[in-house]
Amino acid sequence: MSKAIRFYETGGAQVLKFEDVEVGEPGPGEARVRHSYIALNFIDIYFRTGRYPLALPNGLGSDAVGVVEAVGPGVTDIRVGDRVGYLIGPQGAYSQVRVMPAAVLIPLPDGISERTAATLMMKGMTAQYLFRQVYPLQGGETILYHAAAGGVGLIACQWARAMGVTMIGTVSTDEKAAIAKANGLGRQGHAGSLAGLPAAAGLADQ
């Protein structure tokens, strides 16, 4: 028997139930993963409150990191004992153990700890999507990035600096500006200053 967080109705945090669940053997193309770290993402709140509808009852959580306990028939790329992470698939990462499609599991490099991987999986892939696919940056560009002190934003700050990209980021407080600067942000402005206020002209001239 394992434990998992599930919910049967949408609402506040009080709808979440910590329950015993039966986790069976993986079927064809599946693997059973024992989680070591589970990522918390703001989108989880949207699922819990019903803003993003889910069939109920359901689990919660999109991404986690752990160790493969068992694999089902036909699984050849993942082996028992492998450290893996994932960020897509059915909701339900808020659990001790779960069975997942093996195709969505990402092996972790030896130099990356499970804790680090859990903080980077979805956020890092989001930054990669923005910088490498939405608009492939080459280096030397100047970009504007909103919410530069958020989870994705802090990764973007470091990535932009490493690529030689000048990143102007919006933040809501001086404290967040300091955090973003410490992570490589080149320039910053408060969100309101970029909404047609006089400060916007000064920022553009820097």
Q: Residue 204 pLDDT more than 50?
A: no
End-to-end CA distance of the chain: give it in Å, rounded.
Answer: 60
CATH number belonging to domain 2-112: 3.90.180.10
Residue 189: the pLDDT is 57
The predicted structure's pLDDT at residue 41:
87
Q: Which whole number is the average pLDDT over 129-141?
A: 95
Which tens digits make up the pLDDT trace of 13-71? Answer: 999 999 999 999 999 999 999 999 999 988 999 999 999 999 999 999 999 999 999 99
pLDDT more than 90, % of the chain:
74
**Structure confidence at residue 89 (pLDDT):** 80
Q: Give the chain's mean pLDDT.
A: 89
CA–centroid distance for 144 within its chain: 21
* 186, 168 Cβ separation under 8 angstroms: yes
Give mean pLDDT, residues 159-173.
Answer: 92
Kindly state the average pLDDT of the residues 84-97.
Answer: 93
Domain residue limits, the chain:
2-112, 137-205
Q: Which residue has the tokens 């404290």?
A: 175
Distance, in Å, from the CA atom of 14 to the CA atom of 2, rounded to the nearest integer, reads 21
The string of pLDDT tens digits covering residues 108-127 is: 999 999 999 998 888 899 99
Identical fold, 2-112 and 137-205: no
State residue 174's pLDDT score: 86
The encoded tokens of residue 87 equal 């960020």
What's residue 120's pLDDT? Answer: 87
Assigned architecture for domain 137-205 = 3-Layer(aba) Sandwich (3.40)
The one-letter amino acid at 56:
L
